[in-house]
Structure 1
C-alpha cells in the first residue's frame, strides 16, 4: 500500500500478495511496474465500484475481479495510455456482465427487507448521508457515473468523457441533470434530512 492511502480490505491485500508471489516466481520486472500501476489505481477503482454497487462487499468483489482480469490481460495494455481508464473499463464491463447475470436470477427477499431498515434516531448524520447516497443510487447509471467521476474522483470533463466513451457536452449535460435532481430532491426532503435552509 502506498503511504497516505486508506487501508485495503483483507481480500484485496491477499490478492496483491498472490500477485507478488507470482512475480517472484516468474521473475518479471515489467510485471512489477504493472503491479505498481494496479496499486495506484486501487483507490479510484474502489470509489468507482462503490458508486455502482449497493454494498462495500460487492464493490470489493468487483474490484477484486477487475484486478484479476487486468492482471490476466496485462499484455493488452498499451504503455503510455491511461491505465486508470483502462482498468475502469474492465470494472465497468464486469459490472454490466454481473447486472445481466443478476437479471436472470431471483432477487433475495432478505436483502430487499434489510435495505428498508432505518437507523436509530441518534444517527441523524448517518441517515442524512445514507439518504444522499440513496438519491445518487437512484440516478440513471450514465448520470451517476459522470457525476462520480468528475465530482468524487476529480476527473476533468474531458477525462470523464474519454472514460465513458461519449462527448464532453454529454458529460456536462449528465452532471447538470444529476445535480439538478439531487438539489431538488434534497430541498424537498430538507426537513426529514435535518438540513435547514435548503
Structure 2
C-alpha cells in the first residue's frame, strides 16, 4: 500500500499547495502547511481507508492543521520589535536570593538592640520617633543603634555602599539597554 499511497500523496501536492495558499494567503506558510499535512498523512496512513477519496482526506488534514495554527496564533502575542519581551525581562533571582541569605546571616550577628532598631527603621518603615517609643528609649539612642547596625552590616558583608548590593554592573547594563 505504501508505494501507491506515496505516489498518490505526491500527485496531490499541487492541489494541496493551491488550497494552502488560498487559506494562508502566504506562500511560505502554505508550504509549511503542505509539509505538515504530508507528514501527518504519512504518519497516519494506516488510518486511511483504501478506495476512499485520498485527496479529500488530505484536504481535511490540511484544513484542520490550518485552523489549529490559527487558534495557536490567536493565543500568541506578536512582539517582532521585542518591546513586550523587554518589559518582561527581570534580573536573575539567584543573586538576589544569595544576597538575602547573606544579609539574614549578617543580621543575626548584630546585638539584639541594634538588630531590633534596624528592623524597625529599615524593614518595618517606622520613623525614628515611633521606633524610640516602641523600644522605650530616646530618639538619639535609636539613631545611634541604627547607625552602628548599618556600619556593622557593611563590615560583615564587606560592602562599602549601596552600589555593591543588588544586580551586578553587567546585569544592570544589559537590563537597562533591553528596556529601551
TM-score range, shorter chain: 0.3 to 0.5
Bigger-Rg structure (1/2): 2
What is the TM-score when the length of structure 2 is the normalising length?
Answer: 0.43
